[in-house]
Amino acid sequence: MDVIAEEMVPAWVDGRLVPVGKLEVHRRGLRHKAVSVFVMDGPRVLLQQRAMGKYHTPGLWTNTCCTHPRWDEDAAACATRRLREELGITGLDVAFADRLEYRADVGAGLIEHEVVDVFLARATAGLALAPDPAEVMATAWADLDALAADVAARPGRFTPWLRIYLAEHRTRIFGGL
């Protein structure tokens, strides 16, 4: 299981944004801040398969990386940090694509209710990957259209948020590509 005990997430409680423990946020289904990143190489997107030790949705394929910002952390800085921490990716500029909100059951009695800042980053030639095995068990590049078809055909292989992004927000996220 990944270490989450002391990590605090910016969440809304009684209409105020306050720091709440990461696991408590998901147990209570609290609305909270999040960041998602898609690294693109033309029409191809870099995916990761979540490590089996993750506390929810282990082994499922998802976008390049995602996380919750620290209490006083800028969303773009958070996106850049997690690219480095999860995949060893450095030197990419992240560009804000959209802010979305979704709510999804992620299993084991946990709920994601995220206000998520979505970022796109363009892959550079020879992009080096060094996935953290505690976070990522595999990576793959997928054509965006083929990915959307695969997610629709075999949704159980993918995280709930990736399914939502592609089914409900694809044009908002990827419309400029």
Is 78 a residue of the active site? no
In angstroms, the CA 82 to CA 145 distance is: 25
In angstroms, the CA 91 to CA 133 distance is: 21
Residue recorded with tokens 């289904």: 29
Q: Which residues contact 50 (CB under 8 A, 6 or more apart)?
A: 57, 58, 59, 60, 61, 62, 135, 136, 137, 159
Is 101 a residue of the active site? no
Around Cβ 13, how many Cβ atoms within 10 Å?
14
Catalytic member of 86, 112, 114, 135: 114
Catalytic member of 65, 66, 78, 86: 66
Q: Where are the beta strands (DSSP E) in 42-163?
A: 44-50, 61-62, 65-67, 94-107, 110-122, 136-143
For residue 127, what are its two tokens? 């992009």
Active site (catalytic) residues: 66, 114
